[in-house]
Amino acid sequence: MTSNREEIANLIGERLDRERFKEHHWEGSLWDYLDLVIERPAVARNAFQRVHDMIVGFGSEQYRAFKRDRIRYHFFSDPMGQGADAIYGLDYQLMKLVDVLRAAAEGYGADRRIILLHGPVGSSKSTIARLLKKGLEHYSRLDNGALYSYSWRLDETAGPTGEQNVLFPCPMHEDPLLLVPEEARDPILSRVNDKYKEIGGAGRIHPDGQLCPFCRRIYTDLMLHYDGDWEKVMSHIVARRIIISERDRIGVGTFQPKDEKNQDSTELTGDINYRKIAQFGSDSDPRAFNFDGEFNIANRGVIEFIEVLKLDVAFLYDLLGATQEHLIKPKKFAQTHIDEVIIGHTNEPEYKKLQNNELMEAFRDRTIKIDIPYNIRLDDEIKIYQKDFGPHRVRNIHVAPHTIEVAAMWAVLTRLEEPKKAGLTLMQKMKLYNGKAISGYTEDSVRELMEETSREGMIGISPRYVQDKVSNTLVSQQAIAERTINPFMVMNGLEEGLDHHSLISDEETKKRYRELMAMVKDEYEDIIKSEVQRAISADEEAIKTLCANYLENVRAYTQKERVKNKYTGKDEDPDERLMRSIEEKIDIPESRKDDFRQEIMNYIGALSLDGKKFEYNTNARLYKALELKLFEDQRDTIKLKNIVSSVVDDETQAKIDIVKQRMIKQFGYNEQSATDVLNYVASIFARGDAKGD
């Protein structure tokens, strides 16, 4: 027993950093803190400066997408929680959010606004707010994010045991700089800002406002006691480091509307402590008041308003003053200064109500709206589901390749508007948005496609619906029995669930979503046909030989030379039949063959200038053509149509087994799912599917 206890104690002790604990609970005099501020001005930043620096401090990367400069901030990948709340595909919207925070940090007026995240249900509005709160908690534990408050050390009886020399912390976690008289702050802040400018800080260090009512009362009483000797009053101050924590109600507040009967504005600004009225004699004595409203405890940090537009009007009045003037009005006390980022979120119906309500004009005027749409990029949507249903989470059931992809594909298609360009399908539009190249479309034309839409990303299926249906499929009797799920099982679940979807009532929308599912099924068939073809034609040496043969003939053709026949030793014309048999596989018409061949030679030349070598798989289009040509040449030897037959000869079975192993190795199938896909593709060929042939 003792050895177990020691072992457990050692395990715990190894993971606790006592030195770090001491740093997080640092205490000192006001003079110690002032020295610290002059040396490290960032400790006195306001809430907007702190939140902005927190996001930027995690690093970022710049990139261009459709000829627009974008910044991807690593903070929103949730490095604090190992990606548990990571946000995908919203780089542009998050960039706008950080721009607002930057403007607020610089003091350009955005600090006097409510940041309103607006979008459809399930678009990650709450996740963004949660990340900001979680990030602040983490950041305040780092040296770069350290912040400080203070307590009063008073010699008076406190409680039934009569303790002396008791510490009374500032209930609103205010910066100790507020204890410096306003007339004396400027010379100190001048030195602080000189240093802050040197390190490239955003904006200026300039704590505004007065002490909270509780601290002001103690300060006034002590000034009277010491006949105005400020230094003696400050001898009662214990500066201390604070750690932002939502659980401890320090620096993070969250407010969620309730029904009208249970809503009380004191939840935001604090309430009277009736038990202490008898002790202090008045309900207007700040010592008989609990400064524990959400605005109070969120001071120095961030407050989140869940479904902010559902708030009662009485709450909105408090919100208006808190944003524009940074003031709140606790019951029976003067207006009290606050320093916090106010972030709310709401859905579209509530926002439309706000726009139509003339009485809410003041609220609209104090709001910066940031649209948070659904993903319209397939790869980013896939990442959302991989987080929940990837191999690290689903271990006992095999998720067949493309299972998550087809679900994401359908979800994205429901969010897109029909393209206005003739000849462009919705599936092609989705592929263009995902960065795929389609002949005739440049980055400029894709950008035009995006700009001509008005509602893309604000409509369609929520990721939550897809997550629910994939979860249901994973625990279905079929999945448990077969230990695997495949795309058809998920697509069936998604389609069947439409009849019971609480947010889809009109039959026209359901009909459209089912048509999109049929489109996804066709695309999935094309994908698995291609994979089977690649598995059959996966002889690397054969592809290399075919590629070399093609390039030799193309070089001779473009340079108007002849090709030496390796067997006869005679010079012959380039093999036009071979070249066209390959080019036709990727729909290069006769009229475009010269252009395509010249493009290939130019591409090889450009690689050579960069010191790179052209390989058979370097050019994606040519690689696809070579695979299809090789598949066509080899398909009859494997007799794929015979797979669906009840009798397969040993030679064919051996070849089929080789193809299965290639599918398992190259594409991530297991034995069962590889067999299912081969049988399905074989049945397509057996039906004489013209598209497959």
CB 250 within 8 A of CB 244: yes
| 507, 542: one domain | no
Range of the domain at 610: 535-686
pLDDT score at 237:
95
Q: Residue 346 forms beta bridges with which residues?
A: 118
Token reading at 296: 């109070």
Instruction: Answer yes or no: do 542 and 619 share one domain.
Output: yes
Identify whether 546 is part of a domain. Answer: yes
- Say what the pLDDT of residue 692 is: 40
User: Is 184 exposed, middle or buried, given 0-12, 13-18 or 19+ CB atoms closer than 10 A?
Assistant: exposed
What residues have CB less than 8 Å from 14, skipping those under 6 apart?
none
Buried b / exposed e across 201-228, counting CB within 10 Å, b at 16+? bbbbbebebebbbbbbbbbeebeeeeee
Total structural domains in the chain? 2
What stretch of H or E contains 27? strand 27-28
Q: Tell whether 579 and 502 lie within a shared domain.
A: no
Question: Can you give the pLDDT at residue 690?
Answer: 39
Q: Which residues contact 166 (CB under 8 A, 6 or more apart)?
A: 153, 154, 156, 158
**pLDDT the model gives residue 159:** 43
pTM for this predicted structure:
0.83
Residues 487, 572 share a domain: no
Spell out the residues 6+ positions from residue 70 whose beta carbon is closer than 8 angstroms to its own.
Answer: 62, 63, 64, 91, 92, 95
- Whether 540 and 513 map to the same domain: the answer is no
Please, what are the averages of pLDDT over each run of 10 residues along the chain (693 residues)?
70 74 91 94 94 95 86 94 91 95 93 93 93 96 94 70 73 94 88 88 85 94 93 95 94 83 77 84 85 93 90 78 90 90 90 80 88 94 92 86 96 93 89 84 85 89 94 92 92 91 83 94 90 76 84 90 78 88 88 89 84 80 82 63 58 79 89 88 66 41
Q: Is residue 454 part of a domain?
A: yes
Per-residue confidence (pLDDT) for residue 5, from 0 to 100: 77
The span from the CA of 256 to the CA of 529, in Å, is 51
Residues 543 and 499 reside in one and the same domain: no
Tokens describing residue 284: 């207007």
The verdict on residue 324 lying in a domain is no
Chain centroid to Cα 477, Å, comes to 33
Q: Given 453, 486, 517, which residue is the final one in a domain?
A: 517
Q: Which residues of 234-261 are buried (b: 16+ CB within 10 A; e: fewer)?
A: bebbbbbbbbbbbeeebbbbbbebeeee
Answer yes or no: is 84 within a domain: no
Residue 420 sits in the same domain as residue 508: yes
For 645, the enclosing helix (H) or strand (E) is none
Strands 563-564 and 336-337: unpaired
Q: For residue 676, is it within any domain?
A: yes
CA distances from 574 to 109, 343, 625 (A): 71, 69, 19
Contacts of 500 (CB under 8 A, 6+ apart): none
In three-state secondary structure terms, 353 is: helix
Q: Would you say 258 and 156 are in contact if contact means Cβ atoms under 8 Å apart? A: no
Residue 483 belongs to a domain: yes
The reply to whether 372 falls in a domain is no
Q: Are residues 450 and 550 in the same domain?
A: no
Asked if residue 356 belongs to a domain, the reply is no
Is the domain of 443 the same as that of 564? no
- Residue 406 sits in the same domain as residue 510: yes
Please check whether residues 499 and 389 belong to one and the same domain: yes
Please check whether residues 478 and 612 belong to one and the same domain.
no
Q: What is the C-alpha separation between 690 and 693, in angstroms, rounded?
A: 5
Query: Dihedral sign, CA of 73, 79, 81, 86?
Result: positive
